[in-house]
Every structure is written in C-alpha cells, then in structure tokens.
Amino acid sequence: MDTSTSLQHHGDDRERFEGGAAPPVFRTSLFTFKDCASLEEAFRGGGDRYLYSRVSNPTVRILEEKVALLEKADDAVAFASGMGAISAVLLTFAASGGHVVCLSRAYAPTLSVCRGLLRRLGVDVTFVEPRDIPELERHLRPTTQLIYVESPATFTFEVIDLEHVARIAKAHAIPTATDNSWATPLYHQPLALGIDLSIHSGTKYLGGHSDILLGMVAGRGKPGDRQSPLQRVRSLGTLLGASLSPEDAFLAIRGLRTLPLRMERHQKTAYTLAARLLAHPRISEVLHPALPFFASHDVWRRQFSGSSGLFSFRLKGDVRRFCDALEVFRLGVSWGGFESLAIPAAVVDAGYSEENPRADIPKDLIRLSVGLEDPEDLWQDLERGFAACP
C-alpha cells in the first residue's frame, strides 16, 4: 500500500472511537481505573493502559504511530517542540566525562545546547565540519557517547553521507542521531541507512501550518524494550516534562494527512525558483542539494528521493534592502509552513550576545522557505527585491 494511502488511516483505530473519521482529542491529565489490578497493570506498563498524559495519551499515540510508519521505525516519541526532542536525545546519551561529536553546521539552538548545557555538565563536544565527515573516525574517542548530524545542514545545505556515518559509528558501538526535518520521512529514510534515531522539528513540514510546536524522534525499539536507544529517549523525555499536548497532536495528525501533497508542491516550486536564481546576474551562489552542480548533490541523489522548500542563495548586493522590499515572502524564523519566508544570515547574528554558532556563515546569504503560493508570484517578489538593491 502506498504511503499516501496508509498515512490516512494507520493508527486511527476508528472502531474504538465509535467510527469517527478523525480521532478524538483526549483532553485529560489523567486516566482512572475501576480496580487496583488495572491500576497496577498500568504502572507496570502492561497492555494498552494509559495512566497520565505526561507519560502517554491516546491522541498523541496515534501521531506517534503515524510517524513511526513514515520512518519505517519500530516506534516514535512525540515532544512539545523540536528542541524538546533534540535536547532529550542529547541528554539521554551524553554524561559527565563523556564526549559527543556534533556537526558544526547543525541547527543553531542545537549547537547552543552542545556549547552550553552539555559542557556545563562535563561533556566534551567536538564540532566537525561537513567537509571533514569522510574523516569522521579520527574525531572519535574511547569516551564518545553520541554522533549527532543533520542532513542537509541548516542554512548551507551540505548533504551528509549517513551510510558512512552509520558504518563508522557501528564499528565503535556509538549511537547515532540525525535531524531529518528538511526532507521529512517521505523523501529520506535515515534508519534504512543505519542511523539509530531520526529527529524532526514537526513544527515545520509535519505540522505544515505554522500553528503548532512539535518534536518527534523515531527509531528501533518497541515500547516494552526499555534499553533500546529510542525508549531511553522516551523515558528521559517523560521525566523532563517535554510531552506534547493532545490538542497539538490532533493538529499534527491533520497536517500529516496532506503531507505528500504539500511536499510535492514545496519541492517543485523551490526547485523552479532555485534554477531561475542560478541564472540571475545578482546571484553568486545557490545552495540547493537537488541542483546538479551542488557539491554534495551525488550524496543527495543516492540517499534522498526528493527535496523540500528550503534552500539558500548568496546575493550580490545589499541583503537588507533586498529583504525589506519583499512583500509575499515574509521575514521570519523557522520554515516548513504554508507561507513563504526569507531570513538573512547577517540579521540572525544579532540574536547572539555571546559565542555565535553561525559566525562562519556568509553574511550575503539569504535562506528561503518556499511555501504554497503561486510560483510566479514568488518570483515576481524576488524580482522586487533585486530592483531594490541596485
């Protein structure tokens, strides 16, 4: 059965919910029991019992089952935000006296957690440039507890060879995790490449409507396997209180039903714009993995089956004047929603009063999140930006 079909129905358990086409929102903090034996079973994690919504909730569980289906995973865990998911993964494996390897071009808040929180906890972190991933093994230590990457890299879009990362990690028995938000599980399957955990900021494409915060982690390990990497992440996330609300789970389920349609539109429009920008005299470089000239295009072609609406370009001109002239593209952080967004790297720098994790990003770089608007309207808006910076 095609993914677009099974995604509509998997996990919905309609017979249990009176045949409702959409699942109910279980807006409850706790679940009650008729006798001590049932309560005891719930405490032991037996059966399909629900105990407390910080631990598990039926609406949230439907979402987890759908994401696990997409990732071809044993299970998935939902969090209240993407950073909730990322932090839970990092803190599950990193311990005092240990060592973590992290991609240097990862999501900026991820880098901040590694540079700040992990180091305060006594964890040493090595940041590896995308170009140095082929030499990953020389960055490992006997104390390495986790390898964390992102493919492609945020802002600069270098595609990481996850098969290579997984092969090196398994030879040293080191867990691996990757941020898979850019391509979604529709177009990229990290677990099939040997990665242990696939992480999503579901705030972006999985939700798709810029109206929820959501994090997801998918991997190997059934709910009863408490020693598996994924279920260890679930246990810590529960203790940290980073649980997703049933209301946001419902909205995420609704968003997932249209994910195949939305992603096809996002990637098609973005590729069209990227190709046109490539030929524009005011552009010095376009950073989009699906473009044949792109440095890591061959890795993308081997390991991905599609792209998305997010890419960057470098402008020959005044970045601020270009962005200020845009009318359809709005200026804002995040990405993956219905609306098109632009964000200049130079302006992002203003948010860092201490060590800037993106200090090496070119200041003439602008990142676009291409939404669901008409492609020609978006191109005319970019032309408006070019006209504003002669």
Higher pLDDT, 359 or 295: 295
Residue 4 confidence class, pLDDT cut points 50, 70, 90:
confident
Spatial separation of the C-alpha atoms in residues 371 and 122, rounded to whole Å: 42
Residues 137, 229: one domain? Answer: yes
Residues 49, 128: one domain? Answer: yes
Alpha carbon distances (Å) from 136 to 124, 160, 289: 16, 11, 21
- The predicted model gives 296-323 an average pLDDT of 97
- The predicted model gives 249-271 an average pLDDT of 98
Using an 8 Å Cβ cutoff, are 214 and 202 in contact? yes
Residues 332, 368: one domain? Answer: yes
So what's the pLDDT on residue 116?
94
Nearest residue to 154 (alpha-carbon basis) of 308, 337, 374, 320: 308
Residues 253, 263: one domain? Answer: no
Spatial separation of the C-alpha atoms in residues 330 and 368, rounded to whole Å: 10
Residues 132, 277: one domain? Answer: no
Tokens of 155: 């802002």
Is the pLDDT assigned to residue 15 strictly greater than 90? no
So what's the pLDDT on residue 7?
78
The Cα diameter of the chain in Å comes to 76
Residues 192, 274: one domain? Answer: no
Residue 12 confidence class, pLDDT cut points 50, 70, 90:
low
- The predicted model gives 310-327 an average pLDDT of 97
Spatial separation of the C-alpha atoms in residues 85 and 199, rounded to whole Å: 7
Tell me which of 257, 282, 309 is where a domain ends. 257
CATH value at residue 31: 3.40.640.10
Residues 170, 74: one domain? Answer: yes
So what's the pLDDT on residue 111?
95
Nearest residue to 349 (alpha-carbon basis) of 340, 334, 336, 360: 360
Burial 301-340 (b: 16+ CB within 10 A, else e): eebbebbbbbbbbbbebebeebbebbebbeeeeebbbebb
Residue 358 backbone phi and psi in degrees, to 5:
-120, 30
The CA-based angle 350-353-358, given to 5 degrees, is 60
Is the pLDDT assigned to residue 105 strictly greater than 80? yes
The string of pLDDT tens digits covering residues 110-121 is 999 999 999 999
Nearest residue to 277 (alpha-carbon basis) of 307, 317, 312, 309: 312
Spatial separation of the C-alpha atoms in residues 187 and 361, rounded to whole Å: 26
Range of the domain at 208: 3-257
With pLDDT > 90 as the criterion, what percentage of the chain qualifies?
82
Nearest residue to 269 (alpha-carbon basis) of 377, 153, 156, 152: 377
The string of pLDDT tens digits covering residues 321-374 is 999 999 999 999 999 999 999 999 988 765 554 555 566 789 999 999 999 999
So what's the pLDDT on residue 76?
98
The string of pLDDT tens digits covering residues 146-162 is 999 999 998 999 999 99
The average confidence (pLDDT) of the chain is 93
Residue 351: DSSP 8-state = G
Count of domains forming the chain: 2
Residues 244, 284: one domain? Answer: no
Dihedral sign for Cα atoms in the order 77, 80, 85, 87: negative
Using an 8 Å Cβ cutoff, are 157 and 312 in contact? yes
Residue 42 confidence class, pLDDT cut points 50, 70, 90:
confident
Residue 32 backbone phi and psi in degrees, to 5:
-100, 165
CATH value at residue 331: 3.90.1150.10
- The predicted model gives 252-269 an average pLDDT of 98
Tell me whether the omega of the peptide bond preceding residue 152 falls within 30 degrees of 0, making it cis: yes
Question: DSSP of 247-272, one letter per residue?
Answer: HHHHHHHHHHHTHHHHHHHHHHHHHH
CA terminus-to-terminus distance, the chain:
53
Tell me which of 257, 274, 294 is where a domain ends. 257
Is the pLDDT assigned to residue 18 strictly greater than 70? no
Tell me which of 229, 257, 285 is where a domain ends. 257
Is the pLDDT assigned to residue 14 strictly greater than 80? no
Written as one letter, the residue type at 349 is D
Residues 196, 246: one domain? Answer: yes
So what's the pLDDT on residue 349?
64
Residue the block writes with tokens 């993407």 = 82
The string of pLDDT tens digits covering residues 168-195 is 999 999 999 999 999 999 999 999 999 9
Residues 204, 301: one domain? Answer: no
Among 153-162, 220-229, 291-300, 353-362, the least confident range = 353-362
Question: Rounded to 5, what percent of the chain is helix, strand, coil?
Answer: 40, 15, 45
- The predicted model gives 254-259 an average pLDDT of 97
Tokens of 364: 């003439």
SS3 of residue 342 by DSSP: strand
- The predicted model gives 40-63 an average pLDDT of 86
Residues 383, 312: one domain? Answer: yes
So what's the pLDDT on residue 357?
57
- The predicted model gives 36-55 an average pLDDT of 84
Tokens of 265: 């539109």
Tokens of 283: 């552009």
Residues 132, 101: one domain? Answer: yes
SS3 of residue 117 by DSSP: helix
